[in-house]
Amino acid sequence: MIEYFVAKRYMKSKRRLNFITVISRISVLGVSLGVAALIVVLSVFNGFGDLAKKMMLEAEPHLIIHFTKTPDKTEIGNIKKFLRDYNDVSSCYLFSQGKAIIGIGKSFDILTVTGVENDYYFSDKFRLKKYSETESSAGKNSIAISLYTAIKLNARLGDTLGVTSFQNLEKSVTTFLTPRVIKPVVTMIFNTNNNRLNSKYVYMPLSKTKALFARKNRLAGISVFMKNFKNAGKLKSALLNKHFPFTEITTWEDTHKQLLTVMRIERWSAYLILSLIIAIASFNILSSLTMSVTVKQKDIGVMRSFGVSRKSIKKIFLIEGALTGLKGALLGFLIGFSIYLAQLYFHIYSLDATKYIIDALPVKLYFSDVLAITFMALFLAFLSALYPSTIAAKTNVIEAIKWE
Amino acid sequence: MPTILKCENIFKTYHTEEKIIEVLRGVTLELEESQTTVVVGASGAGKSTFLHILSGLDEPDKGKVFYMNEDLLKKSDEEISAFRNQNIGFVFQFHYLLPEFTAEENVALPMLVQNISFSKAIERARVLLKEVNLEERASHKPAELSGGEQQRVAIARALANNPKILFADEPTGNLDSDTSKLIENLLVKLREKYGLTLLIVTHNDELKKIGGRVITMKDGKIIESN
Ligand SMILES: Nc1ncnc2c1ncn2[C@@H]1O[C@H](COP(=O)(O)OP(=O)(O)O)[C@@H](O)[C@H]1O
Ligand SMILES: [Mg+2]
C-alpha cells in the first residue's frame, strides 16, 4: 500500500531538526503527556473506587432478598436451593432485623439487631473483621458488638448485656407488663472499616432473636455473598425471573447507588478533562501536518502525475497523523504504565498508615481504560489530520510541478 | 499505425487579475502508436499546457481528448489517476524525485499504486535502473546524485508500469549539452526497445534531430506540422 509506505517514510525522515520537526515532536510529547496523565489519574480513581467498594462490602451482603411477608418453610427452602445451585453464590444466610435498646449498667444505646442464621453465625464464614473474640460457655446466648459500641457502653468480652426490642416495648406499653429482656453475653467485638455498620449494628444468632421480634417479623430476609460481587446484578435478574413470592431484591449497587453514580461521574469528567490535553496536543499535529503538506507540494504533484489519486494523497497524510497519534499514545502508555507499576510495587506515593487505613495510594488499571484512552488519542489525532490531508488532496498538480 | 491519442479543437484560457491569456486556441492533433512527436515553439507558446491536457493532468475549457476510444474528460479522478498510472509516463524539466526515498524506491512508487508487492516492485525498479545504467546507484537518495543521474532515475520511474505513452516536457532543459545528448540517446533507445509513443515538448530546436514528426506551436496554435 503506497499510502502507508509514503506516510511512514515521511514520519521517519523527520529526523533532521527544523521547525516542522520540532512542532511534530511537541505534538507527540503532548499526546503522550495526556495519555500518561489519563492512565495515572484513572488508575488512581479505580484504586480508590475499589477500596471504597471493598470497605462497603467488607461486612455487607452483596445482595439481600427481603421478605415482604414471612414465607413458609418450603418457600424458603426453594429460594435457598436456588441460591445453593447458583454457581456464583459463595454463601447465604437467613436473617432477622429490628431496632433494640441495648444496655449495660447505666449506659445504653439504640441499635439495630441483626439475627444471623445460627450455622452461619458460628462458622468462619461470618464476615466481620474480628477485633477480639472469646471461647465462652455462652453458646447460643451470644452477641457480637462493634469496638465502637463496646467503648460507648463500656462493655467488654464476657459482659452480659440487656437487650429488648422496640416491638417488645410497644407491647409492654399496651399490656402494662414489663417488656421481655434477653441477656446475651458479648463473645465477639468486631471492627470494620464501615462506620455505619460500626455505630449502628449488633449481631446475634437468629434463634436468639425470636424473643425480640413478633412472629410476623421473625424473618427479614436472606443475605447473599457472591464469589464476585460484580455479578450481583446478574443474580438479581435471575432471581426476579424466578418470581419467588413476597420477595424484594436489593443489590449492593442499589444500596449505594448515589455514591456509585458520583464515582462514575467523577471518572467520566476526569476522562474528558484530561482528554483536553490530548486535544490541545493534537492541534500541533494539525499545524505540523499543514506545514508538511505545504513543503511537500512538489512531491504531491509528481505523485498525482504518476497516478496517485486525490483519495490516496489524503490517506497518506491521514495515516501520518494517525501514526503521530499512535506514537504519542505508545510513549504515553509506557510512561503512564511505568508510573502505575512503580506505585503498585514500590509505593512511590505512600500514605501515613497511622492516619489512613492504607499505606499507599491505591491504584488499579483496567484494560478497558487503556483501550478508551488509546482510542481517544487516535481519534483526536485522526481528527487533526483531516484538515491538512484535505488540503493535500486539493493540491493543484499543474502549479505544483511548474518549473520556474 | 493506429491512433493511440487524439485531441480535437482544444481551447484553454487563463484569467489573471490584469488580463486574459488565451493559451491554447483550437489545437487538434493525433498521435500514432509507437510514433515520436516533437513539439517545438518559443517559451510561452502553450506547449506545456498542451502536454498537460493531452496526458489528462489538466482539463481544457473546450475540446475533446481521446485515448484509443475512451473519452479522458469523462473520467473521475480515480479513473484518470489509474489511467495515468497504467498508460502514461512523465519526464519533466526537473526530476521531481521524492527526496526521502532512494532511487529504486522512487522508481518503485508508481508500481506500488497498483497492488504489487514491495519486493516485486523493487526488483523491477532495479531492472529499470540497469536500463538507464544506474544499477550501482539504486540505494542512493536523489540528493546524492548528479543532475543527469537524477533525470535518468526519473526516466526509469516514467517506465515503471510499462506505459504506452511517454510525455517529456523539456527533458534536457536543466542539463549541460553533454548530459543532454546522453538523455536524448537514452530516450531514443528506450522508445525503440519498448515501442513507446513518445511526445517531447521543447523550445530547444536541437531535439528535432531525434527523429519523428516535428510540430511547431505559436501563440496557442499549431502552425506547422510535417
Ligand atoms: N496558472 C496560470 N495562470 C496564468 N497564466 C498561465 C498559467 N499557466 C500558464 N500560464 C501562461 O500560459 C502561457 C503558456 O504557458 P506554457 O504552456 O507553460 O508555455 P510553454 O510551455 O510553451 O512555455 C504562458 O504565457 C504562461 O504565462
Ligand atoms: Mg513549458
Residue A171: pLDDT band (50, 70, 90) is confident
Q: What is the pLDDT of residue B115?
A: 85
Assign A15 a pLDDT band (cuts: 50, 70, 90).
low
3-state secondary structure of A131: strand
A331-341 pLDDT per residue, tens:
999 999 999 99
Q: What is the extent of the structural domain holding B170? A: 3-225
Give pLDDT, residue B125. Answer: 96
Q: Which of A189, A212, A245 is the last residue of a domain?
A: A245
**Residue A375: closest CA among A253, A305, A271:** A271
Q: Using one digit for the tens of pLDDT, what is the confidence trace for A154-163?
A: 999 989 999 9
Long-range (24+ apart) CB contacts under 8 A made by B77-83 are B77/A309, B77/A310, B77/A311, B78/A309, B78/A311, B80/B56, B81/A304, B81/A307, B81/A308, B81/A309, B81/A310, B81/A312, B81/B113, B82/A307, B82/A309, B83/A307, B83/B56
Q: What percent of chain A has pLDDT over 70?
A: 98
Domain C-terminal end among A245, A269, A303: A245
Residues 6+ apart with CB under 8 A from A221: A64, A65, A66, A67, A94, A95, A97, A247
Give the per-residue pLDDT at A130. Answer: 75
Residues A32 and A173 occupy one common structural domain: no
pLDDT classification of A192: cutoffs 50, 70, 90:
confident
Q: Are residues A142 and A30 in the same domain?
A: no
Same structural domain for residues A303 and A385? yes
- pLDDT tens digits for B79-102? 999 999 999 999 999 999 999 999
Whole-number Å distance, alpha carbon A64 to ligand 2 midpoint, is 87
More confident residue, A136 or A121: A121
pLDDT of residue B107: 97
Residue A136 has pLDDT above 70, yes or no: no
DSSP string for residues in A238-279? HHHHHT-TTEEEEEHHHHTHHHHHHHHHHHHHHHHHHHHHHH
Cell of A122: 458460628
Mean pLDDT in residue range A244-268: 91
Please report the pLDDT score of residue A138 as a whole number.
Answer: 66
Mutation for A interface: B72, B112, B157, B164, most A CBs within 10 A = B112
Mean pLDDT of B152-176: 94
CA angle B113, B115, B118 (to 5 degrees): 85
Highest mean pLDDT among A195-199, A259-263, A267-271, A307-311: A307-311
Average pLDDT over residues B132-137: 93
Judge whether A355 and A41 are in contact, CB under 8 Å. no
Residue A102: partners with Cβ closer than 8 Å, 6 or more residues away:
A108, A109, A110, A111, A113, A145, A149, A153, A161, A162, A163, A202
Ligand 1 neighbours by CB, cut-off 6 Å: B 14, 16, 21, 23, 41, 43-49
The predicted pLDDT at position B79 comes to: 96
> Which cell goes with A196?
455505619
| Choice between A258 and A140, residue whose per-residue pLDDT is larger | A258
Nearest-angstrom CA–CA distance, B125 and A108:
96
Q: How confident is the model at residue A354 (pLDDT cuts 50, 70, 90)?
A: confident
Q: What is the pTM of this model?
A: 0.81
The pLDDT of A251-267, averaged and rounded, is: 91
The ipTM value here is: 0.95
Residue A326 belongs to what H/E stretch? helix A310-346
Amino acid at B108: A
Sign of the CA dihedral running A88, A92, A98, A104 = negative
**pLDDT tens-digit series, residues B138-155:** 999 999 999 999 999 999
Contacts A401 to B, Cβ<8 Å: 92, 94, 96
Residue B78 contacts A where some CB pair is shorter than 8 Å: yes
Q: Which helix (H) or strand (E) holds A167?
A: helix A166-175
Q: What's the domain range around A210?
A: 70-245
Q: Give the whole-angstrom CA distance, residue A7 versus residue A319.
A: 6
Asked whether residue A336 falls in the same domain as residue A393, the answer is yes
Q: Is the pLDDT of residue A4 over 90?
A: yes
Q: How far apart are CA A282 and CA B221, in angstroms?
A: 52
For residue B163, report the distance from its CA to the centre of ligand 2, in Å.
22
Choose the residue to mutate in B11, B43, B49, B54 for probing ligand 1, maximizing ligand atoms within 8 Å of C-beta: B49
Q: pLDDT category, B120, cuts 50, 70, 90?
A: very high
Question: What is the full DSSP assignment across B136-202?
Answer: GGTT--GGGS-HHHHHHHHHHHHTTT--SEEEEESTTTTS-HHHHHHHHHHHHHHHHHHT-EEEEEE
- Do residues A236 and A376 both lie within one domain? no
Which residues have CB atoms below 5 A from the ion given as ligand 2?
B 48
Q: Quick check: is A251 in a domain?
A: no
| pLDDT above 80 for A13 | no
Dihedral angle at the C-alpha atoms of A131, A136, A142, A144, nearest 10 degrees?
A: 0
User: Per residue in B190-225, pLDDT tens?
Assistant: 999 999 999 999 998 888 888 889 999 999 999 877
Residue A355 has pLDDT above 80, yes or no: no
Question: Do A87 and A113 fall into the same domain?
Answer: yes
Mark whether A149 and A275 lie in a shared domain. no
The three-state secondary structure class of B111 is helix
Tell me what the mean pLDDT of segment A250-277 comes to: 91
Cβ distance B113 to A308 less than 8 Å, yes or no, reads yes
- Distance, CA of A350 to CA of A361 (rounded, Å): 6
B77 touches chain A (CB under 8 A): yes
pLDDT tens digits, one per residue of B50-71: 999 999 999 999 999 999 989 9
Check which CATH number belongs to the domain holding B124 and give it. Answer: 3.40.50.300
Domain count for chain B = 1
Domain-embedded: residue A63: no
B98 touching chain A per CB within 8 A: yes
CB–CB of B216/B29 below 8 Å?
A: no
Count of structural domains within chain A: 2
pLDDT at A42 over 70: yes
